[in-house]
Chain A
Amino acid sequence: MLIEHSDPERAHLPDRPDRLFRDDTRFALGRIAVFQYLAVGIFLFLTSGFWVLQVRDHEANSELAERNRIKTVPLLAPRGKILDRDGRVIVDNHSAFTLMLTRENLKPEHIEPIAAGLHLDPEEIRARLKRYESRPKYVPVPIKQELTSGELAFVDSHRDPETFPEMELIQDQRRLYPHGGLAAHAIGYVGEVSEQELNTTEFAKYSQGDIVGKAGLERQYNDSLIGIDGQRRVVVDSLGREREILESKEFTPGRNLKLTLDLDLQAVAELAMENRRGAVVALDPRNGEVLAMVSRPAFDPNAFTARIRAEDWKELTSNPDNPLLNRAIQAQFAPGSTFKPIVALAGLEAGSLDEHSSVNCTGGAVFFGRYFKCDAKHGPIDLHRAIVHSCDVYFYTAGNRIGIDRIAEYAELAGIGKKTGIDLPGEAEGVMPSSRWKLRTQREKWYAGETISVAIGQGAVTVTPLQLATAIGGIANGGAWYRPHLVKDETRSEQPRRGELHAENIATVVSGMYGVVNEGGTGASAHIEGIEVSGKTGSAQRISNELAKSNKAVSQAMKDNGWFVGFAPRENPEIVVAALLEGGEHGYQAAPVSRDVIKAYFDKKARLARPAQPQISLFRRPGR
């Protein structure tokens, strides 16, 4: 092949040896063949890559593709509301936003800025992620509930695929306690189920992240309040936009819970206990319905609905006054003189006393070589006046005569020393000592001298405010003790516990208690014009007299508890109220608390009896 120099297209080219353009190309044929083999090799290599992905691993990749495009969105069921006996809302829900992190695309270095934007501790987020390690990876991890509007703005502006695509926002219904700390202990609170709880049988059916009742009624009736979550399966694109709904399973909301509590009475009781330490329980002795239950100091259950902050929790648990304790059912204190009506009843029933039995009180008496003192020199005194004036010498003598086991028999009939069985978790038992009890718990014989203290509600005997209200209410009800309960159930047909008591004995005791309030007795401040309030005060020592004398500081810190238990009307009582003031020194200080609640009850009853009057209520009814 020759290329002529005269070729006009090449005329401008610099002169160079012709052989460059003449040269045949055969010399490279072998190397071109190598190139061809290389190409074959490359194509086989590429094809094998497709074979592996498309034929061998097709199933696995299809599953990944499906998981990519199908997202499961939880539809969280709202908890049932909690209503008072008139249907007024005590516990409600409100819509809130929860931020979740999807773990499939979570970048560890994003945790810090996300934590900063949500005012969280990054370590806390990491700890949470760790707890979720056992759950499938597609389950998102909730990291903050009830976002504030500022946090919501942060999430909204950083949720795009370029910034923090792992953030996912869901709207859900959160618990709202519109009355704050009102009846906080009875209601309880909700919170995220903890790891320890998940290992218990009570919570085993829930899973990490579920909101469950942690205390009070929220816990007791959790199964009925909680509802069933639904879910929606949707097709999403790579930006998380929903394109299509494949399947939707609606949630079933939790059932509403109607309580026996009366918000009006509860509010009065709460106000009466303002800035005090103690408890109030109001019951209807005719059926055991709890009308009010207050424990102070209280807490705000709203603090728990989002995850409670560590410092708040620490403050609650390390507070020496223990605000989380429901004193109405968990405080166990000596009942003091409020125990005397029970001793009196035991004595009358056992035949050790009659209403004319008289004792001469000289301000104290010696039993078994030890001197027991009385508050005053009452002189010759009979049973009625002994109750009215709370004469200790009378009851020392009576107790000594009756004997511990007879006292225990009737006290236990009234419910002292065992749980009332109220529908709340964590109820305390209290103690009703007896010779059998002492043998069982201390492997020792009962000394008759110990009976003397028990007869005035001191010594080993302890009760909870609820127990005391139930016991006295049952006696006033003619010896029929209903199990106290907080949830209103019209179909309830539980029979009361009855003892073979004599009506005249009960009348004798009740008449004494009527005298306490209305005949210038220790509970005169519970008197209400026009209502036959009866009751009994009690001032219970928490330490022995000897210790009080020797140590002034302890005696100051361990001031006597003031009790009052009262009911009205005198016959066929409709309400019984027990009030405990811790460190309240004297029962007469507790009496006005009970009086206020009883008065509120009868005021409301009178108001309802005049339907023409416009009703003014502190609390809204649903639907208004």
Chain B
Amino acid sequence: MARYRSFRDVDWPLMIITLIICALGVLQIYSATHDTRWHDAWWKQLIWIVVAMGLMWVVTSIDYHTLLGQVPVLYTISVAALLATFAIGKLVFGSRRWIHVFGVNFQISEFVKIVIILLVARYLSELKSEEIGVRDLLKIGGLVGIPTALVMYQPDLGTGLTYLPILAAGILLAGLRWRHLAAVALACTLALPVGWYFLKDYQRTRLVTFLDPSRDPRGSGYQVIQSKIAVGHGGMWGRGVTRGTQTQLRFLPVPHTDFIFSAFAEEHGFVGVVVVLGLYFLLLMQVVQNAQTAPDRAGMYICMGVATLLLFHLLVNVGMAVGSMPVTGIPLPLMSSGGSNMFSVFMMLGLVNNVRLRRFVS
């Protein structure tokens, strides 16, 4: 086959939207941290973006079929690395999520997302029937379930939860009998109380205060209340860059990472929110378009996995800013300050480009 890959064939609209969102993120990080001890976060973020683009190019360059072929190896490495975090992980805020390598802290669970996307894509594309049988359902469920459980046990409920939508979207796309769908739904419902039992105290409090933030106005309810005040304070046009009092006086917790969108909403108002959400929507549709034009099922599953993951991140993070979602501490893709998530998102976009470049084969 012709292995011709043109630079021109890269999804340029996707790239441009991505970089605009990243730029807004850097601006907001600057605004939220310029007079704090994290004041250098904005140029660190720039470095992360540059490095992430390099990683994206690497991921784009290797044919995704090759990557799919390496899924067993990648999967094994992932599980091993997650296990390793328990042993050598850095304890931050009572949770072991980071591994310290070459002076940089890597959040393994972020990179596992890519492996999960590839795993689901490979498994489902190898199915022989048009519908998934119970055996396959249990098998793929088990394969995704192991890393999910490990991440949740770190404990990092939010990131662990992001793996499940990839699986769910894949299964639904692959086709599921109504009976099985009902069975899965029932199993999930039954799992809720069991899951509750396994939650840490702070996670339970978070869920309870999500339902009623005023119950704990100083604890996790405080974050939601302050975030909503910050958003509302922005009004239609926003307070202006570095002018949001909720952000600048730090009533809004972590305004450059998890709550960056609340800080953005305070300083740029409803108009800014609509613009950024519009950009995210365009980005998402661009990814979906690549799924529709993918050369094969595996490519389609990969793109849809990326789209689902991004949508889930947006829903949970942005929903958290307005109090529609519980505080889970998952970052806003492309905007939140931090390297690991930036790398994983760009690598996912690399996968999407990868699929796109291979559609012109033969």
B281 A39 Cβ-Cβ under 8 A: yes
The CA of A47 and the CA of B361, in the complex, are separated in Å by: 40
* Majority-rule SS of B interface residues: helix
B285 A10 Cβ-Cβ under 8 A: no
B217 A105 Cβ-Cβ under 8 A: yes
B235 A58 Cβ-Cβ under 8 A: yes
Q: Which residues of A contact B269 (CB under 8 A)?
A: 54
A21 B246 Cβ-Cβ under 8 A: no
Q: Which residues of A contact B222 (CB under 8 A)?
A: 105
The CA of A55 and the CA of B232, in the complex, are separated in Å by: 7
- Contacting chain A: which of B143-151, B306-314, B337-345? B306-314
Beyond A20-B126, A25-B300, is A32–B311 a contact (Cβ under 8 Å)? no
Tell me if A62 is interfacial: C-beta within 8 Å of chain B.
yes
Beyond A9-B66, A105-B217, is A65–B297 a contact (Cβ under 8 Å)? no
B218 A65 Cβ-Cβ under 8 A: no
B163 to chain A, nearest CB (A): 18
- Contacting chain A: which of B108-116, B133-141, B154-162, B318-326? B318-326
Tell me if A309 is interfacial: C-beta within 8 Å of chain B.
no
B173 A239 Cβ-Cβ under 8 A: no
Partner of A28, one of B173, B273, B308: B173
The CA of A22 and the CA of B65, in the complex, are separated in Å by: 12
Tell me if B335 is interfacial: C-beta within 8 Å of chain A.
no
A65 B246 Cβ-Cβ under 8 A: yes
B288 A61 Cβ-Cβ under 8 A: no
Beyond A35-B304, A35-B308, is A68–B315 a contact (Cβ under 8 Å)? no
Tell me if A116 is interfacial: C-beta within 8 Å of chain B.
no
Beyond A27-B130, A46-B315, A54-B232, is A238–B250 a contact (Cβ under 8 Å)? yes
The CA of A168 and the CA of B311, in the complex, are separated in Å by: 44
Give residues of chain A (1-52) contacting chain B, Cβ–Cβ below 8 Å: 1-4, 7, 9-10, 12-13, 16-17, 20-25, 27-29, 31-32, 35-36, 38-40, 42-43, 45-47, 49-52
Tell me if A237 is interfacial: C-beta within 8 Å of chain B.
yes
A60 B300 Cβ-Cβ under 8 A: no
A46 B318 Cβ-Cβ under 8 A: yes
Interface size bucket, B side? 35 or more
The CA of A54 and the CA of B284, in the complex, are separated in Å by: 25
Tell me if A554 is interfacial: C-beta within 8 Å of chain B.
no
- Contacting chain A: which of B9-17, B24-32, B89-97, B223-231? B223-231
B236 A58 Cβ-Cβ under 8 A: yes
B65 A32 Cβ-Cβ under 8 A: no
B306 to chain A, nearest CB (A): 12
Nearest-neighbor residue (CB-CB) of A239 within chain B: B250
Q: Which residues of A contact B1 (CB under 8 A)?
A: 3-4, 7
Q: Which residues of B contact A51 (CB under 8 A)?
A: 270
Give residues of chain A (228-257) contacting chain B, Cβ–Cβ below 8 Å: 235-239, 243
Tell me if A107 is interfacial: C-beta within 8 Å of chain B.
yes
B232 A62 Cβ-Cβ under 8 A: yes
Nearest-neighbor residue (CB-CB) of B299 within chain A: A25
B231 A53 Cβ-Cβ under 8 A: yes
Q: Which residues of B contact A38 (CB under 8 A)?
A: 311
Partner of B245, one of A43, A49, A69: A69
Tell me if B291 is interfacial: C-beta within 8 Å of chain A.
yes
Q: Which residues of B contact A45 (CB under 8 A)?
A: 319, 324
Nearest-neighbor residue (CB-CB) of A64 within chain B: B229
Q: Which residues of A contact B298 (CB under 8 A)?
A: 21
Partner of B296, one of A13, A22, A52: A22
The CA of A107 and the CA of B209, in the complex, are separated in Å by: 14
**Per-residue interface assignment for chain A, residues 284 to 297, with 1 indicating a CB less than 8 Å from any chain B CB and 0 otherwise:** 00000000000000
Partner of B173, one of A31, A50, A165, A236: A31
Partner of B236, one of A20, A47, A54: A54
Beyond A9-B65, A23-B296, is A57–B232 a contact (Cβ under 8 Å)? yes
B122 to chain A, nearest CB (A): 9
Q: Which residues of B contact A235 (CB under 8 A)?
A: 245, 249
The CA of A386 and the CA of B288, in the complex, are separated in Å by: 124
A53 B69 Cβ-Cβ under 8 A: no
The CA of A107 and the CA of B172, in the complex, are separated in Å by: 46
The CA of A165 and the CA of B280, in the complex, are separated in Å by: 39
The CA of A64 and the CA of B217, in the complex, are separated in Å by: 14
Beyond A3-B1, A39-B285, is A32–B304 a contact (Cβ under 8 Å)? yes
The CA of A50 and the CA of B272, in the complex, are separated in Å by: 11
A97 to chain B, nearest CB (A): 24
Q: Which residues of A contact B297 (CB under 8 A)?
A: 20, 23, 25, 28
A287 to chain B, nearest CB (A): 62
The CA of A55 and the CA of B322, in the complex, are separated in Å by: 13
A394 to chain B, nearest CB (A): 83
The CA of A375 and the CA of B46, in the complex, are separated in Å by: 111
B203 to chain A, nearest CB (A): 19
Q: Which residues of A contact B175 (CB under 8 A)?
A: 27, 31
Q: Which residues of A contact B270 (CB under 8 A)?
A: 50-51, 54-55
B4 to chain A, nearest CB (A): 14
Nearest-neighbor residue (CB-CB) of A14 within chain B: B69
A1 B361 Cβ-Cβ under 8 A: yes
Nearest-neighbor residue (CB-CB) of B127 within chain A: A20
Nearest-neighbor residue (CB-CB) of A62 within chain B: B233
The CA of A65 and the CA of B173, in the complex, are separated in Å by: 45
The CA of A60 and the CA of B233, in the complex, are separated in Å by: 8
Tell me if B234 is interfacial: C-beta within 8 Å of chain A.
yes
Interface centre among A9, A46, A64, A237, by most chain B C-beta atoms within 10 angstroms, is A46
A50 B265 Cβ-Cβ under 8 A: yes
Beyond A9-B63, A61-B229, is A1–B218 a contact (Cβ under 8 Å)? no
A10 B66 Cβ-Cβ under 8 A: yes
Partner of B125, one of A4, A20, A29: A20
Partner of B273, one of A20, A54, A60, A236: A54
Q: Which residues of A contact B315 (CB under 8 A)?
A: 42, 46
Nearest-neighbor residue (CB-CB) of A2 within chain B: B362
Tell me if B22 is interfacial: C-beta within 8 Å of chain A.
no
CB pairs A–B below 8 angstroms (19 shown): A1-B296, A1-B361, A7-B1, A9-B65, A12-B69, A13-B69, A21-B296, A27-B175, A31-B172, A35-B288, A50-B265, A50-B273, A54-B231, A55-B236, A58-B232, A62-B232, A65-B229, A237-B249, A238-B249
Cβ-closest 10 pairs across A and B = A61-B232, A49-B322, A237-B249, A65-B233, A53-B232, A54-B270, A25-B300, A58-B235, A238-B250, A53-B231
Beyond the given A35-B169, A53-B228, A65-B233, please list 10 additional residue pairs across the A-B interface where CB-CB is below 8 A: A1-B295, A20-B126, A25-B295, A25-B299, A35-B308, A39-B311, A46-B318, A49-B319, A68-B246, A239-B250
**A residues lining the B interface (CB < 8 Å):** 1-4, 7, 9-10, 12-13, 16-17, 20-25, 27-29, 31-32, 35-36, 38-40, 42-43, 45-47, 49-55, 57-58, 60-62, 64-66, 68-69, 104-105, 107, 165, 235-239, 243
